[in-house]
Amino acid sequence: MSRRYLGDTLDIHTGGPDNKFPHHECEIAQSESVTGLPFVRHWIHCGWLEIGGEKMSKRAGPCSRSRSCLEKGYTGADLRLYLLRTHYRSPLPFDLSLLDEAAKTRTSSTTSCTTRMASVLKARTSPRWRRRSSARRDFAAALETT
């Protein structure tokens, strides 16, 4: 099925550490024996998402989904920041308090970035900025003519 939609060689294949052997080894053997080409260029084995110190799995019970987090008012940026805060091979503990912390950090970063951008834009309209820009243009023009 992957060959049908993604081609003979995949750029990236992900999975949990439990899939390294034998699951991924079998995928490699099957695909490469059929195509004669490398099955995957880059393997990324990620840490598990943990809830209450246990690996989250369908067998263990209800799974948290990104859709349910979005329905609770978190943004996609909040979720991405939360996921990026942990090394990809380390287990990722899932707790709404940690997601709240990521949302707070994102909001704070966005606010400070917006404030800084506003001050830069304001500075660009000042007479001093216009003189500096004019001097730069004049300097560049002088370099072109000599």
pLDDT tens for 86-135 read 999 999 999 999 999 999 999 999 999 989 888 888 877 888 878 888 88
Residue 70 has a CB neighbour count (10 Å cut-off) of 13
List pLDDT tens digits, range 74-84.
999 999 999 99
Supply the pTM of this predicted model. Answer: 0.62
Beta strand ranges found along the chain (DSSP E): 10-15, 40-45, 49-51, 54-55, 92-93
Residues 20-66 pLDDT 10s: 889 999 999 999 999 999 999 999 999 988 988 888 887 777 677 88
What are the residue ranges spanned by the domains of the chain?
A: 1-45, 48-118
